[in-house]
Structure 1
Amino acid sequence: MMTASLVIGLICGVFAVGLNWSVHTLRHYITELELGWSSIFIPALGAGIAVYLVRSLIRDSAAHGVSDVIKAMALGSEILRRRMIHSRFIGSLLTVGTGGSTGLEGPIVSIGGAVGSALGRWMEMNERHKKLLVGYGAAGAVAGIFNAPLTGLIFSLEIIIGEWTYLTILPTIIAAVSATEISRFIMGNKIAFYQEIAGFSITSLLACFVLGALTGVISILFARSLQLWEKIFSKISETFWIRAAIGGLTVGAMGFFMPEVLSEGYEVTQSFLTNNIRPELGFVLLFVLIKFLACGITLGSGGIGGVFAPSLVIGSGVGLAFGMFLHLLPLDGVAEDAAFALAGMAGMVAGVMHGP
């Protein structure tokens, strides 16, 4: 199992780096074109082609990523077919790279799980060991794309595998660390986010109880909104790629007026965590609302991506707005806004993923 986890980690690290680099290269190229108002059609084109390729040619279901892997852990690893490796790679590249308001973490977790499942079948392992390999793949995928081995380890053990034993902990560490080393070797030692928080007072800690409840409610609304948008788009058309194209067109129109909501949105989150010059509270609230809608439309219409990145981005906006509101009140010792942006990210992800 140790050797298998090492191989899985190395493979997942390559896929994570390849997907991350490909998406951001495509996004940068499209941005440099300066298409003006015609740019609203780019997300529609990307989502439509992605869903047509995945649904009609590759014949993959293209769910929201992490849910597929969790289902495989419950119902059997054979759910994760080898075709998911290239279908999720191509689908998320076209969806997110052209501006679809979703993230890469869901697809890369599916890719990692499919790599582990495929290796388990090739080695003719029993179902128990194949499921463990799926978990190792998820750990390697998350660690590779975030350049954070501890993130991959905790995510896999808590969300995917669901147990902390000698058979899960050490191989998962190996997979996460090996994927991270591949990422650092190819892309350098870069981290997804960095922050400059000076301190956190007792008052701020108490306020985080309120922020946690707030992000918990928003995470419930976010999850239910995805189901609502799926029902709405299923009534618009029976053809999957047409639904995705209509959703992409809607998101493209939103992005024309507020480009920050397109794609992952990590640049905005980073600015929330570090910039000394803050946007107005009204802008932050508007950004959260439009990002919330854009992500729901992207995924509800069939776009290929995950909910992890949108949860981070929305959570950062909610937390920042919460911190800005606290500073309007006559309270002493309230931490800086960025501290609450970071706490909001944690609360939103925990609520959406059901894993503190």
Structure 2
Amino acid sequence: MERKPMLNTLIKRLSHLRASFQIRAFRSALSSLDAAPQFAILGILSGLFTGLVILLFRVLVEQVLTWILPSGPDRFEQLAALERFLLPTAGAMVLALIFALLKQENRGVGVSHVLERLHRHQGYLSVKNLLVQFVTGAIALISGQTGGREGPAIHLGASVSSLLGQTLKLPNNSIRVLIGCGAAAAIGSSFNTPIAGVIFSMEVIVLEYTIAGFMPVILAAVTGTLVVQQVFGDEPVFFIPGIAMDSYWDLPWIFLEGIVIAVLAAGLIRLMVICHDRAPKPIAVKIILAGLVTASLGFVVPEILGVGYDTVNQALQGSIPLMILLLICCTKLVATAINLGLGMPIGLIGPTLVIGAMAGGGFWQLASTVSDQVSAPGFYVILGMGAMMGAALQAPLAALMALMELTRNPEIVLPAMLCIVIANITAAHGFGAKSIFQTQALMLGIDLTGRNSRSLALSRASVESKMSRKFIVANARLDRASAEQVLQSQPTWILVKSGAGYDCLLKAADLQRALADLRQDTFDLQNIPADRKDIARITWQATLDEAFDIISRGGVQALYVVRVSATQLDRPVGILLPEDIENYYHS
């Protein structure tokens, strides 16, 4: 007999759990970051879909490159000199034709496009731009344009995750989280570096750290990485000999290497800006010009073509002569800056690692001629990679985590921290260099530093989480019986309807006072003694930051929150006041 009540209780709890995950309840729960189980599910789904897309992208690129380059997908050096010139040139011409045929709004690709959509369009990314990035990114990598696969990967991951949120009609604050999940999964699955993916997403894309925001991003990075590992395995990207800092005599050289790398990072960013500012207007001309520069430099220095990780592995072994290291470093930097400045749809993290590796290898050879107490060449190569990535991206923690996971060498942590910090400080304060992604955004007219702590905090919650549902819609003119009926449900607010729209908001107490004080049969809610509030419309998916902007710019005193029905008609579902936003911000 005792089992029956227990069984009933269990059934009720299961029914409640099922109800909580129905789509309407699921959306409502995501209106604030407190919905940990729901955000965890989103993180896993984002990682799964991102991993599958990145897997498809990598398989396509590497299979075609293996057919073109039988010795390996990075071995552009095996091509004849004429082939090294013709391949990037032909690829650039195909890309130029594609971009010339596209509308302006469909040409946006890469991390800068993701940041632009995140900061200006609440993270809504389109299917068309996703397809453009997939196709053009693959063509750029296959044709040997100097760059990395992580730029296209971040766009693909962010787009897939954003489209997931749009398909489920989730509130805008959760789409922002999904963008972070997609970026983390993309970096994790591209490099086998899930921790670096998480830190990169928070440090570069989302631009904030929150405990609640970490959980779905971590799950996405892990899931995406595991998906790609099923095909490409979990081997580290670089083959590192067992190296570490041999003595404290390395410390002055590490300090100097950080300064040298900072000069290169600042130079890369400055040259990119110059190329962008002086570039011709037609997109096709810019792409062809970028391809010709890459082809010309690759004709002389084939190591700059493609991603270049095979060259990094050679530098780690100390098998590249000094002059060749310096030549690769300089030409790779120039080619990368021109490609980025002219809009080639390719990534920049890979090139920063290659440039840093070549600079580190060259620095070791110069230092070893002065002192015989410097550590192995691979030690300085690794430090150069991390310092260049950290200084160019202004993301020191992401660079450190990437270095640890790429090399799987914990011995490198202490000296890497020193070198990366020195490079970051010197680039930012010595040369005034901003993050290369921030600089790209500024070239598009977007100031990523314009978002203050208030804006970031209010972006974490949607209006649904703080709106009042204690309201009723009423016509402007009511007879006494209708007015009494309006008050029967004991609302706090009355949303006054006038024609096809809504005119103002007043307290139900004002109507109740008018019924008691005025001896008349009809009441005009626009004229009775009341504290009426000017109102504006906002959708339930909007964030509190969007609501704050509407109130500030429109000079209104309240917002009515609507859901758009299947017939495209607005259905008011709540009321939001400025004090509701203020209370959330100070809570």
Amino acid at match of 2:284: W
Q: What is the aligned residue count?
A: 349
Q: Do the aligned partners of residues 192 and 6 (structure 1) sit closer, same or farther apart at CA in structure 2, a change above 3 Å counting? A: same
**Alpha-carbon distance in 1 for matches of 2:251, 2:224:** 35
1:27 aligned onto 2:65: yes
4+ residue runs over 6 A deviation? none
Query: Match for residue 116 of structure 2?
Result: 71
Counterpart CA distance in 1 for 2:203 and 2:286 is: 34
* Cα distance in structure 2, aligned partners of 1:319 and 1:61: 36
Higher relative strand content: 2
The aligned counterpart of 1:343 is 383
Residue in structure 2 matching 1:176, options 209, 221, 230? 221
1:98 corresponds in structure 2 to 143
Distance 1:295 1:7 in 2: 34
Kept in 1, the 8 Å contact 2:144–2:306? The answer is yes
- How far, CA to CA, are the matches of 1:128 and 1:192 in structure 2? 35
Distance 1:263 1:107, change over 3 A: same
Please give the alpha-carbon distance, in whole angstroms, between the structure 2 residues aligned to 1:54 and 1:116.
Answer: 24
Q: Which protein has the larger Cα radius of gyration, Structure 1 or Structure 2?
A: 2
Match of 1:302 among 335, 343, 368: 343
Contact 2:99 2:284 in 1 (8 A): no
Contact between 2:123 and 2:162, CA under 8 Å: does it hold in 1?
A: yes
- List aligned pairs for 1:231-242, cutoff 5 A: 231-234=277-280, 238-242=281-285
TM-score w.r.t. structure 2 length?
0.57
Q: Does the aligned pair in 2 maintain the 1:51–1:304 contact within 8 Å?
A: no
Instruction: Name stretches of at least 5 consecutive residues in structure 1 with no aligned partner.
Output: none
Distance 1:208 1:330 in 2: 13
RMSD of Structure 2 on Structure 1 (CA): 2.0
Note the C-alpha offset of 1:294: 1.6
SS at match of 1:24: helix
Alpha-carbon distance in 1 for matches of 2:282, 2:115: 27
CA distance in 1, matches of 2:257, 2:116: 31
Alignment partner of 1:355 is 2:395:
yes
% identical aligned pairs? 25
Work out whether residues 26 and 98 of structure 1, in 8 Å CA contact, stay in contact via their aligned partners in 2: no
Distance 1:301 1:163, change over 3 A: closer
Q: Which one is further off, 27-36 or 149-158?
A: 27-36
Render the CA deviation track for 1:165-221: whole Å, top value 9, x for unaligned: 232111111101101110111222232123114220322233222212221221111
Secondary structure of 2:126's partner? Answer: coil
Indicate the residue corresponding to 1:112 in structure 2. 157
Between the aligned partners of 1:2 and 1:305, the Cα distance in structure 2 is 31
Report the equivalent of 1:314: 355
Worse-matched range after superposition: 178-187 or 20-29: 20-29
Shift in Å, 1:26: 2.5
User: What code does the residue aligned with 1:15 have?
Assistant: V
User: Aligned partners of 1:282 and 1:36: how far apart in 2?
Assistant: 20
Contact 2:188 2:225 in 1 (8 A): yes
Give the letter for the 1:287 counterpart.
Answer: I
Deviation of 1:8 (Å): 0.9
Q: Which residues of 2 match residues 209-288 of structure 1 at below 5 A?
A: 209-234=255-280, 238-273=281-316, 275-276=317-318, 278-288=319-329
* Counterpart residue type for residue 132 of structure 1: V
2:87 touches 2:295 (CA, 8 Å); kept in 1?
yes
SS in 1 for 2:153: helix
- Structure number with higher relative contact order (C-alpha < 8 Å, ≥ 6 residues apart): 1
Q: How does 1:201-212 map to 2 (within 5 A)?
A: 201-212=247-258
- Please say which of residues 171-180 and 33-42 is displaced more in the overlay: 33-42
Q: Between Structure 1 and Structure 2, which shows a larger proportion of helix residues? A: 1
User: 1:96, 1:103 within 8 Å by CA — same for their partners in 2?
Assistant: yes
Amino acid at match of 2:394: H
Residue 281 of structure 1, CA deviation: 0.8
CA distance in 2, matches of 1:48, 1:101: 15
Q: Which residue of 1 aligns with 2:582?
A: none
Query: In the TM superposition, what is the alpha-carbon distance from 1:55 to its structure 2 partner?
Result: 5.1
SS at match of 1:99: coil
Cα distance in 2 between the residues matched to 1:202 and 1:290:
33
Q: Cα offset for 1:15?
A: 1.9
Secondary structure, counterpart of 1:263 in structure 2: coil
Cα shift at 1:322: 1.0
TM-score (norm 1): 0.91
Tell me the secondary structure at the aligned position of residue 69 of structure 2: helix
The reply on whether 1:80 has 2:134 as its aligned counterpart is: no
SS of 1:328's equivalent in the other structure is helix
8 Å CA contact retained: 2:107, 2:132: no
Query: 2:571 maps to which residue?
Result: none
Q: 1:335 to 1:36 in 2, by over 3 A?
A: closer
Listed as ranges, the gaps of 5+ residues in structure 2 are: 1-38, 71-77, 397-587
User: How far 1:79 sits from its partner (Å)?
Assistant: 5.2
